[in-house]
Amino acid sequence: MAYKETFWMACDSTEQMRAEYGPFHTRAEAEMEARKLGFDYLLRYEHIVGDRNEIQEVRSIFIELSGARPQRLPTKLHTRCATCGASASHDLAWRAEVWADIHEFEHARHFVRLFEQVRSELKEIANWRDAA
């Protein structure tokens, strides 16, 4: 007997070369993460699974998030490794997190810090990996 599996992803566009984050079990979880990352879309995957647990059909449905983003001052994010001093600048939070993940993966025992720059002020975002 076939059944349908559904899971959700947060994504930044509907283009083929898009960033996706997830999966999530519920739309609410995906939407919360999408808004946190600044993504404008959700992607719902539906898998039709057959009797032998093989995927028979895949459906992809994009959902554009409603509501305008709140106006904020332009910010720039900066990542810097506290161990070796390597650093980078980012326009989007998810890119800063990806850079940090890659750096810490490639360099054992390194610790990446995140800073936010608004105008000329630079502030560290403490415990940025623990924030939910």
Q: What is the pLDDT of residue 132?
A: 47
Burial state string for 23-40 with b = 16 or more CB within 10 A and e = fewer than 16: ebeeeeebbebbeebebb
**Backbone torsions φ then ψ of 126, nearest 5 degrees:** -75, 145
In sequence order, the β-bridge partners of residue 8 are 24, 44
Q: Please give the chain's pLDDT, 132 residues, in tens.
A: 788 999 999 998 888 888 899 999 999 999 999 988 888 899 999 999 988 889 899 999 999 998 645 545 557 899 999 999 999 999 888 899 999 999 999 999 999 999 988 767 788 888 877 754
Q: How far apart are CA 32 and CA 123, in angstroms?
A: 25
pTM: 0.50
Bridge partners of residue 54, in order along the sequence: none
